[in-house]
Amino acid sequence: MAKKGPKRHLKRLAAPDFWPIPRKEYKWAPRPSPGPRCIGASLPLLLIIRDILGYAKTAREARRILGEGKVRVDGVVVRNYKFPVGIMNVIEIPDIGEAYRVLPLKGGYIDLFRIPVEEAKYKLCRIEDKTTVKGGHIQLNLHDGRNILIRVKDPTKPEEDIYKTMSTLKITIPEQEILEYVPMKEGVLGLVVLGKNMGRIGKIKEIRWGISKKYTVIVLENEKGDIFQAPLNYVFPVGFDKPLISLPESAFE
């Protein structure tokens, strides 16, 4: 008999290594819903509320908290306990005045980093692709599944099209207004979000362009003068002289 869609369940033993859950105490874990992020790069919202933040002891309590609309993701109330949360997502709990940003950590993990409530009003998104839509307007496809439409006056000479792929936008949430643009170029600060140097930040010293993104290498240097490198797909531009967002101290080591 043919398959009728993706699996709905996930055993704890098969869950990603960075999920902070006991593997053998219970059998099942919440499986993230299909959406902007894959299982290997996301955390289900229930797991964040129960296992990371500790606001609930059981899944039932966590689902009740979410059902009452007490948690916002990127400025929007989310009630789906399986909602996939990934890098650069902002989790806010207005009732207690707390906000967190999901960031990569050294060692191949992603975790929550507490930020000021004022910083929860914006996030960084990397431009993964660009598309020309009807009317000659430009649609930017971002890393978290968002799309932002850039309207142009003259499709034959789109002066408004200044955005390049693999660059970063600082946008308001949930309005998605563009506040700042950080291009992928030498001299900007880059945060490594995958690979053995995951969680490290440094200034981009050189871009060794290859035949594709896969074979393009970024050379970075941190504040201590250490040189490290990562593929283009692994680097997230985050600012010029200083990061546009708060980062843990381990990122600068």
Q: What is the mean pLDDT of residues 52-76?
A: 96
Q: Which of 89, 115, 141 is the last residue of a domain?
A: 115
Are the CB atoms for 138 and 158 separated by under 8 Å? yes
**79 and 28 in one domain?**
yes
Are the beta carbons of 204 and 185 closer than 8 angstroms? yes
107 and 35 co-located in one domain? yes
Residue 91 lies in a domain: yes
Do 81 and 87 meet the contact criterion of CB atoms below 8 Å apart? no
* Per-residue pLDDT at 5: 74
Q: Which of 57, 88, 115 is the last residue of a domain?
A: 115
Kindly report the pTM of this predicted structure.
Answer: 0.91
- Is the pLDDT assigned to residue 122 strictly greater than 80? yes
Are residues 38 and 91 both part of a single domain?
A: yes
Which of 115, 148, 169 is the last residue before a domain boundary?
Answer: 115
Q: What is the Cα–Cα distance from 171 to 179, expressed in whole angstroms?
A: 5
pLDDT tens per residue, range 137-151: 999 999 999 999 999
CATH code for the domain of 171: 2.40.50.740
Express each pLDDT in 106-120 by its tens digit. 887 888 999 999 999
**One domain for residues 170 and 205:** no
Q: Residue 228 sits in which domain range?
A: 189-240
Q: Is the pLDDT of residue 1 over 60?
A: no
Domain count, the chain: 3
Q: What is the pLDDT of residues 181-205, one digit of tens each?
A: 999 999 999 999 999 999 999 999 9
Question: Helices H, strands E: what count in the chain?
Answer: 2, 19
Inside any domain, residue 106: yes
Residue 50 near residue 57 (C-beta atoms within 8 A): yes
CATH code of residue 104 = 3.10.290.10
Our measurement of the distance from residue 115's CA atom to the centroid of its chain's CA atoms, rounded to an integer in Å, reads 15
Q: What's the DSSP call for residue 63?
A: H
14 and 104 housed in the same domain = yes
Same domain, 41 and 81: yes
